[in-house]
Chains A and B, each alone.
Chain A
Amino acid sequence: MQKYENGSANGRQTARTLTPSLPSVTVHFKSTFPPSSAFLPVAGERPRMDLSATPSRSKSKAKSSPAKPIAASAEVQMDLCTPSKATPKRKSKSVTSPPPTTPATPSTVRRSRRLLDTPTKANPEAPVKATPTPTSKGKRAAPSPKTPAQREPKRQRRQPKKRSYYRKVVYDGGEFEVGDDVYVKRREDAESDAEDPEAEECRVCFRSGGGVMVECDMCLGGFHLRCVRPPLRRVPEGDWSCQYCEAERAGKAMERPKPPEGKRIVRTAKEKLLASDLWAARIESLWREPDGTFWAKVRWYIIPEETAAGRQTHNLRRELYRTNDLGDIEMETILRHCFVMNPKEFRDANDAGDDVFYCEYEYDIHWHNFKRLADIDDEPETKEDPSDEPYNANTDYISDTDEDSEYDEEEEPTSCSLARRNQTHELAANSRKGRIYGLQKIGIRKIPEHVRCHQKTELEKAKATLLLATLPKSLPCRDKEMEEISTFVKDAICNDQCLGRCLYIHGVPGTGKTMSVLAVMRRLRSEFDSGTLRPYCFIEINGLKLASPENIYKVIYEQLSGHRVGWKKALHYLTEHFSGGTRIGKQANQPIVLLIDELDLLLTRNQSVLYNILDWPTKPNSNLVVIGIANTMDLPEKLLPRISSRMGIQRLCFGPYNFRQLQEIIISRLKGINAFEEQAIEFASRKVAAMSGDARRALEICRRAAEFADYRTKQSGQASLTCNRGDGVVCMGDIEAAIQEVFQAPHIQVMKNCPKFGKVILVAMVHELYKSGLGEVMFDKLASTVFSWCHVNRELLPGYDTLLKICCKLGESKIILCEEGSKHKLQKLQLNYPSDDVTFALKESPDLPWLSKYL
């Protein structure tokens, strides 16, 4: 977004750009206004803030009654134009009263945009939807209790600087809200887009209206009940197909009725969409550019024909796929609403109108695979809230220049989207559009954005980057391995004929196996996007997520075709696919890269799952590349010889990191953040490298240490305002504490915190064990020791049953192991931990100073 120095000049520009665009807009609503009145609401050029939140009624048939509401909404409009009278309260009422419909705008003018959503804080008394819209903060700058008239100029001055985001916009008579599904024009100048028949015509008599129509489930054509042979009385239950489709299915030829001469067939929007003349999309966000044009970010839907797999037999006629492709479009191109439903809603929607579609899967346009929407929505969404973006946008709208650079994009939509696309490829972390995959999912949930929006200290930034969930920008220390993986995949893919192969990656946990493979695949995708690589399909499966090993067939087939079948059937289809029989979908020769994480979990008793998966690449023309990841080094040796023979000899070992590598990893993550002492990092990495060489551990320790340091800083800040030198930096002490916490078992803490007599019992037990030299001690002996000690040291004597109870408690927490309680005082007790630990834990206990002399 460009920055504008001069606000008022820009305002003029807005007016200019608007006017010439008017004739090009061929609005599909009839003009009911005289031209003069069309130009009357000039004030409407500046988008108005309307204070009401009109209940957005779903309106499948709303278009059918255009005439009546026009007047009402026109009135509103006139009302709006006389701003002197309009107090916020009145206006809200006046708008809520007419039903929200498609008020026919004056044909050539598209200036009836009103922004239905308003600063909530601006006038709290107005009956506004109380959603804390992100916009609200941004608009706080505008003085609230004034009339719109007074507010206008101010807005005028301010607006040109930034985009302003809205939740709901009335544009061209339709209310568009974030989350709505809409038709979008596909071509610039298609005449047919303008026409939008109210009702579908009957396929037999070619007249619309006049009675109930029934829809054929196969050709989606509409038929009058009376035109069908034999005529129907009522709409039949269940599936129904017209006589023509039935005849076609039976193999008979049957002429479909031709339309009468001279009559043009008008297609409905649904038909146009299914013939790929229109697009469907879902609005993700709405905003106004500084020049006054309205834009929307939309998520596209595609029809099955446009997927790589093509239309398949299981696709419903009205089925659409949601994609992960986002685009910025001008509101100008949006036609009207449609309704994309999930399977349940679709089943329940009986007569919801013509613009109802079914969507069960999301289609990944990059990897060409399908994911069930329910799965995606079930995932713990760490995806940034849609509200985040406007939020930031509005913070910098006020004053914050810090974030400005993010929005300094080109003004032009095309280059803008291009820029964004490139950007996503450069940053590995963002390339998945906020969705989380693979390693990013492991570990702790990301902290929501709004928590982090205050000015972060160095330590907090460090904590955020050290989270396991944060994808690092680069993966240091694994260059060699990544190079090997990428040559492996490329070798297999680049050829005209894909040679099926198999790669087994093994290594101890936390050495970046999955991360490296995913990074390589991302890099390959950007290569593929730039056109140097053949298209291929990438399927990622985690063995841990499968309910049973056999389910992997189901998952693979579902990702390839977007169709769910049982695993036996899926196995059958997949075997056919890979042995060169009938292929799934259109992507006949597209290579498939199959990544299976935790491969060892696919081991069944007779290992047939692994056999099948590893056998496919050895078939000619299978075009399958399998990458398996597991921890065990000797998995191939554990397998049946026939499977390890098919697995091939390609192995790749990820060894544990040594301390230098761990240090490099932590430092690369903390680049630009000055929160750690050098030695602290080295200490942590050395410590971890000595035990496991697990990068996750190292990051976790550092993050925990940062938390300690943060806590310390805050404490010292509260206690005394003097700042010592160590504040705000993680030092050795913090790391030490974190290591203690991570590596030490918690039993010492438990011992330290157990009740007084518990401590006495433990010490007495150590004493007794030492004295007797046996591994276990009888309870009554222990009790007598405790009594004598208490006597000597003038403690209150505990009861016998109290001691027994305490012993049971200790036994439950597995500090000691005791026999079953029925033996009562004859039960034998055993220490579960070395006696040194007890000594260490209880050496200095403040409440029992005499205890240490028995140790």
Chain B
Amino acid sequence: MPTLRSATANSSPVATPSPAASSTPRSVKRRLTPGSAGQLPDASRHTSPHRSPHAGAGNVYTPKLLSASPKSSRKRLYGDLVLPEKPKWNPRGKSLNFPFWPAYPAQMRAVKEALHVATVPSCGLVCRDDEQNRVLEFCKACVEQEKAGSLYVCGCPGTGKTLSITKVKESLVRCADEMGMETPDELAINCTNLGNTSDIFGKILGQFLGRKKGSGKLSPLQQLQNMFSNKESAPRRMMMVIVDEMDYLITRDRAVLHDLFMLTTFPFSRCILIGIANAIDLADRFLPKLESLNCKPLVVTFRAYSKDQISDIIKHRLKVLEYDVFEPLALEFCARKVAAASGDMRKALGVCRSAVEVLEASLKDSDQEIGMVTFDHMDVALSKVFKSAVVDSILCLPQHQQMVLCALANTFQHCKKKATSLGELNKSYIEICRSTQVPAVGMLEFSNMCMVLSDQGFMKLGQSKEDKLRRVTLQIDSSDITFAFKGNRFFQKCLGLPRYANKSQLWICERSDACIVLDQSGKSTAKLFIGVLMPREVYMR
């Protein structure tokens, strides 16, 4: 485990940096200390430290570090320059408080590794003690009494459910050892990996029988039921079955889920069933029968992380590094933002990592000395994730698509209708084109453009056999469109067009257009309509 590795590097004796250990960032740094402590910023401007004679240890560098050449050496340069300002957070209190990481790519890597989703913090989970204890107590009780039980764990994504349960599993094994009980078997199943929902019984049975094939006649479920119903055949050891993403087991008749929970009610059942899913009320909603049978699972809810918890967890993860990576303010900002949005730890870690990348990029671009991730970096990273870029993306659209949006806004702005059809939209789009004297695109291309717009989430297209009858709804606020085109006279004109409430009026308008055509060809009948209905448009022409 990477975090462990760096942890051991820390604990290694300071006095004896062996050449072999020189590849870890720490020891290299240590070797640099005597040199750079004395000759601070002056020497380092032009020579990268590992070439400087003061360092006197150029030969111990591994080729790997040497080959990292100009970039890394520049980074090291920063490291030396930032030296005087000490990091605020220095848990080990040693004298080697180096301004840490722009110095080495290896350190950067360690930071990223610590922030990675897959990295399991070595020293236990924080902020989930309560839930873990409850689950552990439950399991312990089951193991002690040799009685089956079921538990249901729910919570939003990214709240550490699976991770906590895995930890509980480990500690349960430890506890059982301490108590002198027989260690329970364990089986973790992720339901998304099942080809068929009822395969789960086969897996459980296989675990109980220890890879032996049971009799072929009965289904695995029946075999399990038989096994648990009489004393002789019941297995001696308890088994902890962890069913992750349990809601994938929901079938139309809910038989699988029901049978699974029912397994724990058999007199000689040895199953400790722990189901994990997102829905709070999965058991209540889908298995009302269980309540009447008195085998309703105990429910443990994992709440979304609060801002303090998020920042605690990130700090905890970064504890393995002996340097400050984030400004406390930046971390706080990130935690608040994520907690407000979803409380998803994965997202928080992703934001932190992306902030580190922002810093990396800014290091590459400019010559500033930045020692840690500041508020600004975090702001950039957060805005990448949480900002809704509707207005910007409207402004980036091709012109005709913008006009389609105008047409859509026109239709919805003044009447109460919520949806329109593609054909209607095309008509009002053509109207806009005509009034602005832009040649309109054909119907095929138009529906293509609408498709693209719906891909980008501006509108929603319904399904229909006939292309013209597809239902169109606006997905964004129409005031966004108005706002985006505020300064543009062309689109102001597009948005200011009259709207036609119903079909007959639309038809009249259409006809009045025909009138205009006729007018050009010298017909006089058109005037009536023009005078009555379309004064503005006629003058416009």
Interface residues of A (CB under 8 A from B): 487, 491, 495, 497, 499-500, 508-509, 567-568, 571-572, 575, 606, 608, 611-612, 615, 617-622, 631-634, 637, 641-642, 644-646, 648-651, 655-656, 689-693, 743-745, 770, 773, 775, 834-836, 839
B158: A residues at CB distance < 8 A: 645
Of A495, A615, A744, the contact of B442 (CB 8 Å cutoff): A744
A647 CB, nearest partner CB in chain B, Å:
9
A826 CB, nearest partner CB in chain B, Å:
23
B116: A residues at CB distance < 8 A: 499-500
Q: How far is the CA of A642 from the CA of B159 in the complex (A)?
A: 10
B23 CB, nearest partner CB in chain A, Å:
10
A592 CB, nearest partner CB in chain B, Å:
15
A612: B residues at CB distance < 8 A: 192-193
Of B118, B157, B354, the contact of A642 (CB 8 Å cutoff): B157
The 7 A-B pairs with the shortest beta carbon distances in the complex, nearest first, are A745-B442, A568-B195, A645-B157, A649-B350, A634-B457, A642-B157, A620-B118
Tell me the chain B residues, 239-257 only, with Cβ under 8 Å from chain A: 245, 248
A to B CB contacts below 8 Å, 30 in the list: A495-B112, A499-B113, A500-B116, A509-B452, A571-B195, A608-B192, A612-B192, A618-B118, A618-B346, A619-B118, A620-B118, A621-B118, A622-B118, A632-B457, A642-B245, A642-B278, A646-B157, A649-B350, A649-B351, A649-B354, A649-B384, A656-B397, A689-B398, A690-B399, A691-B445, A691-B449, A743-B441, A743-B442, A773-B511, A839-B517
B260: A residues at CB distance < 8 A: none
B518 CB, nearest partner CB in chain A, Å:
9
Q: Are A691 and B248 in contact (CB under 8 A)?
A: no
Is B200's CB within 8 Å of the partner chain A?
Answer: no
Q: How far is the CA of A635 from the CA of B342 in the complex (A)?
A: 18
Is B448's CB within 8 Å of the partner chain A?
Answer: yes
Interface string of B88-124 (1 = CB under 8 A from A): 0000000000000000000001001100111110000
Q: Are B444 and A745 in contact (CB under 8 A)?
A: yes
Is B400's CB within 8 Å of the partner chain A?
Answer: yes
Question: For chain B, which range describes its interface: under 10, 10 to 19, 20 to 34, or 35 or more residues?
Answer: 35 or more
Chain B residue at minimal CB-CB distance from A488 = B357
B514: A residues at CB distance < 8 A: 770, 835-836
Tell me the chain B residues, 425-478 only, with Cβ under 8 Å from chain A: 430, 441-445, 448-449, 452, 455-457
Tell me the chain B residues, 155-202 only, with Cβ under 8 Å from chain A: 156-158, 190, 192-193, 195
Known contacts A691-B400, A743-B442, A835-B514; is A641 also within 8 Å of B195 by CB? Answer: no
Given contacts A615-B190, A648-B346, 20 further A-B contacts (CB under 8 A): A495-B109, A495-B113, A571-B193, A571-B195, A615-B192, A641-B157, A645-B157, A649-B354, A649-B385, A650-B350, A650-B354, A651-B384, A655-B396, A691-B398, A691-B449, A692-B401, A773-B507, A834-B430, A835-B514, A836-B517
A777 CB, nearest partner CB in chain B, Å:
14
Chain A residue at minimal CB-CB distance from B453 = A508
Is B347's CB within 8 Å of the partner chain A?
Answer: yes
Q: Are A656 and B398 in contact (CB under 8 A)?
A: yes
A509: B residues at CB distance < 8 A: 452
B509 CB, nearest partner CB in chain A, Å:
12
Q: How far is the CA of A15 from the CA of B397 in the complex (A)?
A: 72
B437 CB, nearest partner CB in chain A, Å:
14
Q: Are A611 and B350 in contact (CB under 8 A)?
A: no
B473 CB, nearest partner CB in chain A, Å:
14
Chain B residue at minimal CB-CB distance from A834 = B430
Q: Are A690 and B455 in contact (CB under 8 A)?
A: no
Name, among A499, A568, A637, A836, the residue most crowded by chain B CB atoms within 10 Å (CB to CB). A499
Q: How far is the CA of A631 from the CA of B456 in the complex (A)?
A: 8
B538 CB, nearest partner CB in chain A, Å:
17
Q: Are B398 and A632 in contact (CB under 8 A)?
A: no
Chain B residue at minimal CB-CB distance from A688 = B398
B192: A residues at CB distance < 8 A: 608, 611-612, 615
Q: How far is the CA of A692 from the CA of B119 in the complex (A)?
A: 43
Q: Are A692 and B448 in contact (CB under 8 A)?
A: yes
B202 CB, nearest partner CB in chain A, Å:
12
Is B84's CB within 8 Å of the partner chain A?
Answer: no
B176 CB, nearest partner CB in chain A, Å:
24
A528 CB, nearest partner CB in chain B, Å:
15
Q: Are B441 and A620 in contact (CB under 8 A)?
A: no
Chain B residue at minimal CB-CB distance from A567 = B195
Q: How far is the CA of A179 from the CA of B399 in the complex (A)?
A: 56
Q: Is the interface of B mostly helix, strand, loop or mixed?
A: helix
Q: Are B455 and A632 in contact (CB under 8 A)?
A: yes
Q: How far is the CA of A634 from the CA of B248 in the complex (A)?
A: 24
Q: How far is the CA of A646 from the CA of B278 in the complex (A)?
A: 14
Chain A residue at minimal CB-CB distance from B188 = A579
Chain B residue at minimal CB-CB distance from A646 = B346
B120: A residues at CB distance < 8 A: 620
Q: How far is the CA of A651 from the CA of B398 in the complex (A)?
A: 22
Of B357, B398, B511, the contact of A692 (CB 8 Å cutoff): B398
A567: B residues at CB distance < 8 A: 195
A566 CB, nearest partner CB in chain B, Å:
9
Is B424's CB within 8 Å of the partner chain A?
Answer: no
B441: A residues at CB distance < 8 A: 691, 743
A754 CB, nearest partner CB in chain B, Å:
18
B512 CB, nearest partner CB in chain A, Å:
11
Interface string of B343-361 (1 = CB under 8 A from A): 0101100110010010000
Tell me the chain B residues, 346-396 only, with Cβ under 8 Å from chain A: 346-347, 350-351, 354, 357, 384-385, 393, 396
Q: Are A606 and B248 in contact (CB under 8 A)?
A: yes
Is B56's CB within 8 Å of the partner chain A?
Answer: no
Chain A residue at minimal CB-CB distance from B504 = A773
Q: How far is the CA of A839 from the CA of B513 in the complex (A)?
A: 13
Q: Are A693 and B456 in contact (CB under 8 A)?
A: no
Q: How far is the CA of A575 from the CA of B203 in the complex (A)?
A: 15
A225 CB, nearest partner CB in chain B, Å:
38
B508: A residues at CB distance < 8 A: 773
A487: B residues at CB distance < 8 A: 357
Tell me the chain B residues, 108-159 only, with Cβ under 8 Å from chain A: 109, 112-113, 116-120, 156-158
B341 CB, nearest partner CB in chain A, Å:
11
Is B2's CB within 8 Å of the partner chain A?
Answer: yes
Chain B residue at minimal CB-CB distance from A853 = B521
Q: Are B400 and A690 in contact (CB under 8 A)?
A: yes
B448: A residues at CB distance < 8 A: 692
Q: Are B109 and A633 in contact (CB under 8 A)?
A: no
Name, among A487, A606, A691, A693, the residue most crowded by chain B CB atoms within 10 Å (CB to CB). A691
Q: Are A645 and B344 in contact (CB under 8 A)?
A: yes
B510 CB, nearest partner CB in chain A, Å:
8
Tell me the chain B residues, 1-47 only, with Cβ under 8 Å from chain A: 1-2
A691: B residues at CB distance < 8 A: 398-401, 441, 445, 449
Interface string of B45-79 (1 = CB under 8 A from A): 00000000000000000000000000000000000
Q: Are A641 and B444 in contact (CB under 8 A)?
A: no
Q: Are B443 and A745 in contact (CB under 8 A)?
A: yes
Q: How far is the CA of A499 from the CA of B108 in the complex (A)?
A: 13
Of B351, B455, B503, the contact of A508 (CB 8 Å cutoff): B455
Q: Are B452 and A499 in contact (CB under 8 A)?
A: no
Q: Are B350 and A608 in contact (CB under 8 A)?
A: no
Chain B residue at minimal CB-CB distance from A622 = B118
Interface string of B396-416 (1 = CB under 8 A from A): 111111000000000000000
Q: Are B347 and A500 in contact (CB under 8 A)?
A: no
Q: How far is the CA of A136 from the CA of B195 in the complex (A)?
A: 59
B5 CB, nearest partner CB in chain A, Å:
9
Q: Are A648 and B511 in contact (CB under 8 A)?
A: no
B448 CB, nearest partner CB in chain A, Å:
7
Name, among A571, A621, A656, A690, the residue most crowded by chain B CB atoms within 10 Å (CB to CB). A690
Q: How far is the CA of A839 from the CA of B2 in the complex (A)?
A: 75
Q: Are A497 and B507 in contact (CB under 8 A)?
A: no
A637: B residues at CB distance < 8 A: 457
Q: How far is the CA of A567 from the CA of B444 in the complex (A)?
A: 39
A622: B residues at CB distance < 8 A: 118
Q: How far is the CA of A500 from the CA of B117 in the complex (A)?
A: 9
A656: B residues at CB distance < 8 A: 396-398
Q: Are A620 and B119 in contact (CB under 8 A)?
A: yes
